[in-house]
Amino acid sequence: MKSVDALLCWLIHLAGAHTVGFSHCNKFNNRIYNFKSHTKVDPTLNDLYASQLKSMCPRNVDPRIAIDMDPTTPRAFDNAYFKNLQKGMGLFTSDQVLFMDPRSKPAVEAFASNSKTFHANFVAAITKLGRVGIKNAQNGNIRSDCSII
SS3 of residue 122 by DSSP? helix
47 annotated to a ligand binding site? no
93 annotated to a ligand binding site? no
The CA-atom distances, in angstroms, between 145 and each of 52, 95, 128, 142 are: 28, 21, 24, 9
44 annotated to a ligand binding site? no
13 annotated to a ligand binding site? no
39 annotated to a ligand binding site? no
Residue 13 · residue 122 · CB < 8 Å: yes
Binding residues for heme b: 18
Binding residues for Ca(2+): 19, 70, 73, 78
Binding residues: 18-19, 70, 73, 78
